[in-house]
Amino acid sequence: MRETKEVKELRSKILGMELEMNLLSKDLERFKNDLLYNQKMRDLIEENLNFLRTSSAAVSLSEYKKIKQQQKLVNQRIKYYKAKVLPLEQVLGIKEVNREQEMKRFEEMYRLQFTNNILEFPYERRKEA
Q: What is the pLDDT of residues 41-82, one digit of tens each?
A: 999 999 988 888 887 777 778 888 888 999 999 999 999 999
* Residue 20 confidence (pLDDT): 94
* Residue 8 confidence (pLDDT): 86
Contacts 24+ apart (CB under 8 A), 63-71: 70/41, 70/45, 71/42, 71/45, 71/46
Please tell me whether the overall predicted TM-score, pTM, comes out greater than 0.85 for this model.
Answer: no
Query: pLDDT category, 123, cuts 50, 70, 90?
Result: low
Distance separating alpha carbons of residues 72 and 62, to the nearest angstrom: 15
Q: Are 42 and 78 in contact, with CB atoms under 8 Å apart?
A: yes
Angle between helices 61-113 and 5-54 (to 10 degrees): 160
Q: Does pLDDT of 9 surpass 70?
A: yes
Q: Which domains does the chain have, with CATH numbers?
A: 5-113 (1.10.287)
Higher pLDDT, 1 or 98: 98
Q: Does pLDDT of 101 surpass 90?
A: yes
